[in-house]
Structure 1
Amino acid sequence: MSVAGWFIVLLALVGANLPFVNQRLFAVIPLNLASKPHGEAKKNAWIRIAELIVLYLVVGTLGFMLEARAGNRFDQGWQFYAVTFSLFVVFAFPGFTYQYLVKRR
């Protein structure tokens, strides 16, 4: 696998976990979140899912640009997108675990 391929895999790993490791939209835009009783405000799960989908599209677009730049861009069917989105969701598991399954004191 070339350096560009490993770069896309690493970018997908970071992009998949980005919605879960912070409380900002795309880690940049602060959201006006209602505070909970303990003073911690959290993003809605639907916002995280929407971020995950948008980041999948961004990483996929960057991957296609790198593939086209290499000179051999291949047409893909729906199976390719189903598998890569599933892989993107699997990459998001560490961030999901950190956000929803790790107990904090």
Structure 2
Amino acid sequence: MNVSSSSWIVILLAVLAANLPFINERLFALIPLKAKSVWLRIVELFVLYALVGVIANVLESRLGNAFTQTWEFYAITACLFLVLAFPGFVYRYLRKKHS
């Protein structure tokens, strides 16, 4: 696998993982719940952010040496992950429901 394909895999995985808490009522798309609260969705979002980060680190280490990251990297990627979650948030909370 080359750098370009692994980068696209991480980006697509991040988009899917960022929207997953908002498009279903299951915890991590596995455990059925009657209703998920906003706080549970936020916790799920941050757990999925960490999971995507681990997968990205594994892919990076397979391509060569993984670079060490400082807090700035994690702050920027967390903000980017929240931006990627915006379509799911709009779908769940801001879309007008017609009766």
The TM-score range, normalised by the shorter chain, is over 0.9
Q: Distance in 1 between matches of 2:37 and 2:79?
A: 21
Q: Please, which runs of 5 or more residues in structure 1 have no aligned partner? A: 34-41
TM-score by length of 1: 0.88
Q: Distance in 2 between matches of 1:100 and 1:30?
A: 20
Q: Deviations over 1:5-64 (max 9, x none)?
A: 011001000000000000010111011x3xxxxxxxx31000000000000000000000
Give % identity. Answer: 55
Q: Distance in 2 between matches of 1:27 and 1:11?
A: 14
Distance apart, 1:72 and its partner CA: 2.2
Of 3, 6, 9, 1:4 maps to 6
Equivalent in the alignment of 1:38:
none
Q: Which residues of 2 match residues 63-78 of structure 1 at below 5 A? A: 63-78=56-71
TM-score by length of 2: 0.93
Q: Please, which runs of 5 or more residues in structure 2 have no aligned partner? A: none
Q: Which structure has the highest helix share of the two?
A: 2
CA radius of gyration, larger in: 1
Report the RMSD for the aligned CA atoms in angstroms.
0.9
Equivalent in the alignment of 1:37:
none
Q: Distance in 2 between matches of 1:80 and 1:15?
A: 19
Distance apart, 1:103 and its partner CA: 1.7
